[in-house]
Structure 1
C-alpha cells in the first residue's frame, strides 16, 4: 500500500509543478516586472501602455522590481530576459529587425526584442492577448475585465514584420483631425495646430498596430509638424520614424514652411542656395531622431517643380537635387549615407522624369503609388526588385481630387486592399507601406487590415475565407463572438454596395471638372427596378444594425456607433437621399423621403460629435468641401425620361465557372455580387450557357479596373467553343475619361461580338472561355447582351 501512496504523491507533485510552471495573470495581482532603466525610451513607453491595460483588465498593478516573474529586455543589453533564451532564439532575433520572442518557462515569462521597437511590440503583444483593442482610445473600444489569463509553460512566440517601414499619412485633415485637435482635444489659440497631445494618441495607436512610420499632416489648414513645440520629442518618445509625403523633401513641409522660413521663390534651378539652406536647417535639427528622408523636389505644394518647364529640364534638375541631398545627409547625419533611410517617390510628373532614365541611388527605396482610388499604377520590375533600397507603396483609403473626392466614409473594399497589396508585396514592394487614412476616423478597420498585412503578409490566407476570418475576428474582438457573424454579413454588404458606387459618388457629379454638367446632381444610369433594389439592400443592413444596437451593452455603445452604426446608417441615408430624389424627379417617389434622409444624416453626425461627453466634437463632418452630393437637393422635375438599363439575357459571376485550365481561380469577395475571381496569367475559366441558336452573340466582360502589372497592357482573351479567339486589352491612359468612369464604378468593361459555330447543332450548351494573358486580371461578371 505504501508504494501506491508514494506513486500518488509523485503524480500530485508533478501536476502541481505543471500548474505552477504556467505563467498566470490574475485579478488584483501585483505584477512584478524586470525592466532596466537603460532601455530605450519607446520600451518604457510601451511598458507604460501595458501597465494601463493590465490595471484595466485585472485591477492590479504592474510595477518594476528586481525580483520578478515578467522579464523584459532588448538584445545586446545583457538583461535577465535575454539570458533565458536559447541560442536558436537569439540567432533568430539577430536576423530580423523589430522582432521579438515571448517565452514562458517555469512560472516566468520573458520578452526579448531584437531592437527597441521589437521589444515594444513584444510588450504590447501581451495587451493583445488580454483582449485589449488597438482602438481602445481612438474608437472607445472599452477594455473588458478578466479574472485570469494563463500562458502555458513552454509557450513561445517569435514574430517579426514583413514590411520594414509601415505606417499612415494624415491628409486632407481640414474637416476632422485639425479642428478636433486644436478646438477640442488639445485647445490652442493657434488655428490649425496639431500638437504633441494629439500626436501622442496617434503614436500610441501606431504602436498598438505594430506600425513604426508616420507622415504628418501637410496642408496649409494645419500648422506644420515641426513648427509645433513638443511634436518632435513625442515622436522620439514613441519610437516613431517620421517621414514626409511626395512633395515634402528633406523633412520640410514646403507648403507651410517656405513662406515662413524660406527666401525668394521655391525654385531649385534659380534659387539653389536658399533651397539648400532651407533643407539643411531641418536636417541638423533632426540629427538624433528616427526619420525617413524623401528625396527629390516638387512644387511648393502638390504640383510640378518650379523653374524647370520641360521634362529634360526637370531631369537635369532632379539629377542635381539628388546629389545635393545625399551630400547633405552625409555631411550632417552619417558619413555612410546608406545608413539613413531615404525614399524617392515617382508621383505624377516625377514618374515621367523617372521613366526617362533618372538615376536614383541604389540604396534609396522607390515608392510606387496607387491611382488615388486603390489601384496601383506601377509595380516593381525585375531591375527595380533587385535594388538594394527596395520598393514601397503609397496607398489611399481617403482622397481629395478628380474625378471625385471620397473624404467622408471609409468604404474601400477590404478585398481590393488585400489583392492590391498582396500583389505589390509579391512583386517586391516590401520595404515601405504608407496608408493615406485622411483623419484616421472612420477608417479604423481598413487601417488595421492594411497594417496587419504589413506586419505579417501571410497572416491572412489568400482567399475569401481568409479575409472573412480577419473581419470576423475583428468584429468578435470589438463586440463579442455572438454578434460577429451577424455583423460580418452586414459589413460584407456595406462594402459590396459601396464597391458598386461609393456614397460620395452618388450625385453623378465630379470635382475639379470644368464641364458644367458635372457640377449639378443628376440621374445615375439606373432604372427604377435597380434603384429600388439598391434602396432595399441598404435598408436591410441599416435595419439590422438598428436592431442589433439594442443588444449592445452600455460600455460598448460608443464603439458600436463609431465602428458600425454611423458608417452603415450614413451610407444608407446617402443612398436613400440620392435615389429617392432620382425617383422624385420622375414622379415616382415623394421628395419628403429624400429630405428626411438628409435630415437623418445631420442627426447621425451630430450624435457622433457628441459621443463621450463631447470627446469627438469637431471630428466628423458629413459635408467635406460642401460638394453638391452632400447638400439637401432642390425639388426639380426631370424633362428627360427615366434611364433605361440594358438588360442582360444572362449574367454570370466570375466564380460560376464550370471548369478551369491552369492555376485555380481565387475569389476574395470582390465584385458587384461578390463573385469576382483573380485569374492567373495564362489560366482560363469556362462558362456553360444554354445553346445559342444565332450566328453571333454580344458579350460584355466586366473586370476590376487594375492597371498593367508588367509592361503597358493588361489583357484577356475570349472565345466561344474555343473558336474565333479575340484578344482584348483594357488598360487606361493616365487620367483619361475611361479611367474616370472606371474608378467611379470600380469596373472596366469590354464588349465583344463572337461568331457562333454550328448554331443549328443539337448540343445543349455552348462554352465561353476567358483566358488571362497578363497578370492582374480580376474577372467580375460576364453578360450576354444579345443573340
Structure 2
C-alpha cells in the first residue's frame, strides 16, 4: 500500500526516518535471501532508503521488520506458531502459497521490535512470491526492467497484510525464449557477453515477479548448461527455484547446440544424430546430460526429432518405423532418467509429426496406448498460430498434460516474430479451452525475443496462476486484466489517459492479429471494394490518435519522463511501428489502385509509401536508442513483405508512378469503392451508377473527382438540387489531384417508388477547352419495413444480407450448453462460441445449441450462405468440426485436415487470413426467412454470416461487406 492511500492498521511503514529491516534467517533458502535483497532495492528506488537485510531481529534497525521465511526452515516462524501468535494453517502443505501477516511485539528477545510483517511461504517459491508482492505494494512493476517501468518516488511506503493465496492453477508456468536471432542474441552478446547467468538473472526475476516458475532457455547457438559461463546458469536457476526444461526436440537435458560441440567420429558420442546407426553414442550423450543436470529440479524431454528440429527418419520412412524407433529411444531414456534424475518430470511433446506417432493410424497402433508412457506428462501443442488442435480426451491423458503455445513462430506458412500479433482474446479463449480439457501441469509460451511481448506474457502468466479469476466463464477477463495492469503500471497517469493506453495496446495488437504483420502486402485489404483500405486506415488513425493523446498527456507529467518511457517501451513504440507498417501496405494498395485508373493521385500515395518506409527505419533506430540503448539489437527483426515463410525475398512495397497525359486538366470520375473510371471530353457523357439507396440502410456513397491531366481542374456538379432526400457534400471545386464528394441520402424522405436523379459533373468553361461531362445516376426508394419482426436483417446491394454472429434474434441451450458472446473474439469484432468448452459433440438429429437469424429474402430461390468462422481446429483426434444450417450438416474442418502443416491449404489459408469461410446452398421463400445455426461441435466459433443470391460473387476483399441493417424494436 502506498503512503498516499488510507493507512491500514495491519500495515508497517518504510521511510528514511522510519526504516524497515528485512529479516532472513541463516537457514533460509539462498534464493529467498537474494530476492530479499532485490525487494530492498525496490524499496530504495521508491523511498531513497534501502531496508537492511539482516539475519536476526536483534540486528534490525527501527521498530518494525519484515520477516521472510519458509515453513520448515524458520525457527522464528516455529516459535511464533508455538506461541499462538501466527496461524499458518492456510499455508502449510500447499504448493507455492504465501501469506503476509502483521504480528505485534513478535520477539521477546528483541523488545525494540514493536511489529513484524511476516511473509511466510509454503515453499521456496511461495516465499519469493510473497516478498515480491511487497514490491508490488510499493509500486514496483514486475516489468520494471523489461518494460522500463521506474517506480514513482514516495517518502513513506505502507506494506500491508495479504491473506493466504491459493495454489496456482497450473503447476509449471513459464516462457520459451526462441527464434532469438538476430534480436535477442545480438542484444545479450552486446550487453552481457552471451547467454550468461548475468542475463538470465533478469529473465528469472521476471518469471518470479509474474508468479511463474518455468523456463525453456534460448536454444539457437546457445546451450544453457554451458553458457553461464560453465554451470552458472543451472546453478542460478536452482537458487531461484526456476524449473528449467528444454524445447520439444531437446531430450535428456541436453541443448540442441551441444551436439555440435561434442560430436565427432573420435568422441564417445559418435558423429551422427541417428538413433539407428549411432544408438550407443546417443545414449551415452543423453546419460552424460542427465548426470550433469539431473540433480536440479528439471523437466526432462523424452523422444527425439531429426537433427536441428527436422523430421525423425525423413519423409520416406513409414509410420511403423518411426514409432518403433521412438519406443526404443523412450524406453532407454526413461531408464537413464530413473537412474540419474529420479523424481524428474518426464515429458513427451506431441509436436508436428510426433503427434502422428502418438495417435498412429487405423493400421499402425501409435504410442497412445503404450504402457511405456505411463507417468509421462503429455505436452499437447496448438497449431503454431494460437489454435488448439488436439487436447486430452481420456482420463489417462488428463492426469498430466502440458501445453506449448506461441506468441512467436518461425515456420510455414508465414513466420511472425516482430511485434505482438496474437490478440489477448485469442489467448484467453484458447488457453481456457486447454485448461478446461485438463491441461494443468505445464503451460509454456514461445515469446520469441521476449522484448515487446511483455504484456501478452503478463496476461498469459496471470491466467496460468489464477484460472478461477480468468477462466473460460469470465468473458471479460481481458478487460479485467487490462484495467488492473494499467492501474499498477501507470499509477501517475490520469484515469482517462490510462484508458487511452489500453485502447492503444489492444488497438494495435488487434490490427496485427487481423493479419500478421509479416504477411501483409498491398493485395490484402481491398483498395476500393467496400472502401476496405480506407476503413483500415481509419482504424489505424484511431490507434495513432490515442497514442498521440497519451504522449501529450504523459509529457506534461512532472515525473522526469518515467511514465512516458514505460509507455513508450511497453506500448507506444510497438503500436507506432505496427500502425506505420499497416499504413505502408494500405498506401501501396491505394497507389496501385489509382495507378491502374491512370490517376496521378497515385503518385501522392507512392510518396506516402516512401514516407512510411522512412518511418519504419526511423522507428527501428528509436528502438535501438530506447532507454539509452538498453535494447539495442531488438531493432533487427525482418518484418516487411514476406513472400514465403521467412524473410527470403521479402521487400518493401512497390510504388507505381503515373505520368499525366496531355497539357491541360482532364476530368475523371469514379466511385471510391470501385475501379471503373468515367471520363469523356466529347459526345454522350459516361455514367457512374449509384443505385445503393435502393437497398436498406445505405445512406452515403463517395464519388471521386480526379484530375488525370496537368494543372488545376475546376469542376461543378449540377442537377438534383430540388431532390429532398439527396444531399451533395460539394457542388463545385478545383483539384490538382483528387476530391471526394459524398452523396448522402435521408432515408426518411425517400419515395416508395424508385426515383432516378441525374447529376452532371462539368469542367469549368474557363478551362478553355471542350467541357468534359460525366453523369452520376442516383436511384433511391424507401424499403418498407412495416409488419416485419424486430431484428429482421434487410438485404443490401444485390440482395446480400450480412449478419454479425452476436446479433442473433433467438438462441437455444441444451443441458446447460449455450452460445455465449466472445467480446472482440473474432478477427473483425465479437464472435459466438459454445460454453462449457468441454460440452460433448452433439449427434445429428439431436437437440443442440442454436442461434437464429431472421432476414428478408427478396425473392424465392436458392441462396449461398457463407459462415465466417474463427479458424479454430479439431480438439478431439479423429473427429471433424461440424455445424448445422437449417438442419443441414456442414463440415467446417475435416478429420484429416493437418493443422500445423503448411502444405495443407485447408489449414494454412485460414490461419494466414485469420478467417475460415464455409458455404452452403439453401432455398428460402420470399419474405421473412429464418436461418438457424446449430453447433454440433463446441469448438466452433462463429463471427458472421453472409447470405447472397445463389451464384452472386462478392467483390474481392478481406473483410467483406458491412453488416446489414435490422428492423428496430418498437
Q: TM-score range by the shorter chain?
A: 0.7 to 0.9
User: What residue in structure 2 maps to residue 273 of structure 1?
Assistant: 280
List runs of 5+ in structure 1 lacking aligned partners.
Answer: 1-17, 508-520
In 1, Cα distance between equivalents of 2:92 and 2:202:
31
**Does the CA-based 8 Å contact 2:850-2:935 persist in structure 1?**
yes
1:352–1:760 CA distance, 2 compared to 1 (3 A): closer
**Does the CA-based 8 Å contact 1:413-1:496 persist in structure 2?**
yes
**Does the CA-based 8 Å contact 1:215-1:244 persist in structure 2?**
yes
Within the candidate set 128, 133, 154, 1:146 is matched to 154
Within the candidate set 351, 358, 361, 2:355 is matched to 351
Secondary structure in structure 2 of the residue aligned to 1:251: coil
**Does the CA-based 8 Å contact 2:820-2:834 persist in structure 1?**
yes
User: What residue in structure 2 maps to residue 701 of structure 1?
Assistant: 867
Within the candidate set 850, 856, 871, 1:690 is matched to 856
1:276–1:69 CA distance, 2 compared to 1 (3 A): same
User: What residue in structure 2 maps to residue 22 of structure 1?
Assistant: 10
User: What residue in structure 2 maps to residue 465 of structure 1?
Assistant: 476
Residue 194 (1) aligns with residue 195 (2): yes
Residue 612 (1) aligns with residue 627 (2): yes
**Does the CA-based 8 Å contact 2:503-2:546 persist in structure 1?**
no
User: What residue in structure 1 maps to residue 765 of structure 2?
Assistant: none
In 2, Cα distance between equivalents of 1:324 and 1:657:
57
User: What residue in structure 1 maps to residue 394 of structure 2?
Assistant: 382
The alignment's TM-score, normalised by the length of structure 2, stands at 0.72
Moved more, 91-100 or 273-282: 91-100
**Does the CA-based 8 Å contact 1:74-1:82 persist in structure 2?**
no
1:454–1:595 CA distance, 2 compared to 1 (3 A): same
Secondary structure in structure 2 of the residue aligned to 1:712: coil
In 2, Cα distance between equivalents of 1:710 and 1:294:
24
Moved more, 726-735 or 572-581: 726-735
In 2, Cα distance between equivalents of 1:408 and 1:770:
38
Residue 655 (1) aligns with residue 806 (2): yes
**Does the CA-based 8 Å contact 1:378-1:709 persist in structure 2?**
yes
Within the candidate set 484, 497, 507, 2:498 is matched to 484
Residue 425 (1) aligns with residue 435 (2): yes
In 2, Cα distance between equivalents of 1:224 and 1:72:
30
User: What residue in structure 2 maps to residue 320 of structure 1?
Assistant: 328
1:750-776 Cα distance to aligned partner (Å, 9 max, x none): 1112222xx256xxx332211111121
Secondary structure in structure 2 of the residue aligned to 1:36: coil
1:386-445 Cα distance to aligned partner (Å, 9 max, x none): 53xx00100000111111111111120101001111110110000000100000011111
Residue 99 (1) aligns with residue 107 (2): no
RMSD: 2.8
1:91–1:549 CA distance, 2 compared to 1 (3 A): same
- State the 1:674 CA deviation: 2.0
Moved more, 353-362 or 611-620: 353-362
Within the candidate set 68, 73, 80, 1:72 is matched to 68
* Greater helix fraction, Structure 1 or Structure 2: 1
User: What residue in structure 1 maps to residue 793 of structure 2?
Assistant: none
In 1, Cα distance between equivalents of 2:398 and 2:504:
43
Residue 156 (1) aligns with residue 160 (2): no
- State the 1:565 CA deviation: 1.6
User: What residue in structure 1 maps to residue 919 of structure 2?
Assistant: 751
User: What residue in structure 2 maps to residue 667 of structure 1?
Assistant: 822
- Residue pairs, 1:565-714, within 5 angstroms: 565-587=572-594, 589=602, 590-623=605-638, 627=647, 631-636=651-656, 649-662=800-813, 663-680=818-835, 681=839, 682-714=848-880
Within the candidate set 534, 537, 540, 1:538 is matched to 540
**Does the CA-based 8 Å contact 1:526-1:643 persist in structure 2?**
no
In 2, Cα distance between equivalents of 1:713 and 1:326:
32
**Does the CA-based 8 Å contact 1:161-1:454 persist in structure 2?**
yes
- State the 1:218 CA deviation: 1.2
In 1, Cα distance between equivalents of 2:800 and 2:34:
62
- State the 1:75 CA deviation: 1.4
Moved more, 447-456 or 323-332: 323-332
Secondary structure in structure 2 of the residue aligned to 1:93: coil
User: What residue in structure 2 maps to residue 5 of structure 1?
Assistant: none
1:647–1:96 CA distance, 2 compared to 1 (3 A): farther
1:523-577 Cα distance to aligned partner (Å, 9 max, x none): 6556351011111210221132023212214112222212222111111111111
In 1, Cα distance between equivalents of 2:281 and 2:373:
24
1:19–1:348 CA distance, 2 compared to 1 (3 A): closer
Residue 132 (1) aligns with residue 283 (2): no
1:320–1:89 CA distance, 2 compared to 1 (3 A): farther
In 2, Cα distance between equivalents of 1:783 and 1:643:
23
**Does the CA-based 8 Å contact 2:864-2:921 persist in structure 1?**
yes
Over alpha carbons, which structure has the higher Rg?
A: 2
1:591–1:223 CA distance, 2 compared to 1 (3 A): farther
In 2, Cα distance between equivalents of 1:21 and 1:294:
50
- State the 1:89 CA deviation: 5.8
In 1, Cα distance between equivalents of 2:477 and 2:627:
34
Residue 120 (1) aligns with residue 128 (2): yes
- State the 1:371 CA deviation: 0.9
User: What residue in structure 2 maps to residue 405 of structure 1?
Assistant: 415
Moved more, 464-473 or 742-751: 464-473
1:37–1:272 CA distance, 2 compared to 1 (3 A): same
1:160-188 Cα distance to aligned partner (Å, 9 max, x none): 211111111111101211000112x11x3
1:98-123 Cα distance to aligned partner (Å, 9 max, x none): 12122234343211111111111111
Moved more, 194-203 or 656-665: 656-665
- State the 1:633 CA deviation: 2.8
Aligned length: 733
In 2, Cα distance between equivalents of 1:646 and 1:400:
42
**Does the CA-based 8 Å contact 2:99-2:164 persist in structure 1?**
yes
**Does the CA-based 8 Å contact 1:393-1:429 persist in structure 2?**
yes
In 1, Cα distance between equivalents of 2:863 and 2:417:
42
In 2, Cα distance between equivalents of 1:488 and 1:418:
17
- State the 1:446 CA deviation: 0.7
**Does the CA-based 8 Å contact 2:514-2:914 persist in structure 1?**
yes
Within the candidate set 41, 46, 49, 1:52 is matched to 41
In 2, Cα distance between equivalents of 1:692 and 1:250:
67
Secondary structure in structure 1 of the residue aligned to 2:173: strand
List runs of 5+ in structure 2 lacking aligned partners.
Answer: 1-5, 59-63, 105-114, 264-268, 361-365, 596-601, 659-672, 677-795, 840-847, 951-970
Residue 39 (1) aligns with residue 28 (2): yes
1:585–1:646 CA distance, 2 compared to 1 (3 A): farther
In 1, Cα distance between equivalents of 2:208 and 2:898:
39
- State the 1:591 CA deviation: 0.9
Within the candidate set 436, 441, 463, 2:446 is matched to 436
1:579–1:101 CA distance, 2 compared to 1 (3 A): same
User: What residue in structure 2 maps to residue 9 of structure 1?
Assistant: none
1:452–1:82 CA distance, 2 compared to 1 (3 A): farther
Secondary structure in structure 1 of the residue aligned to 2:918: strand
In 1, Cα distance between equivalents of 2:590 and 2:862:
37
1:301–1:760 CA distance, 2 compared to 1 (3 A): closer
1:158–1:52 CA distance, 2 compared to 1 (3 A): same
In 2, Cα distance between equivalents of 1:526 and 1:748:
22
- Residue pairs, 1:161-560, within 5 angstroms: 161-183=168-190, 185-186=191-192, 188=193, 193-220=194-221, 222=222, 225-229=225-229, 230-261=232-263, 262-306=269-313, 309-334=317-342, 339-356=343-360, 357-358=366-367, 359=370, 360-387=372-399, 390-460=400-470, 462-479=473-490, 480=493, 481-507=495-521, 522=523, 524=525, 527-528=528-529, 529-552=531-554, 553=557, 554-560=561-567
In 1, Cα distance between equivalents of 2:227 and 2:44:
36
In 2, Cα distance between equivalents of 1:628 and 1:299:
24
Moved more, 661-670 or 724-733: 724-733
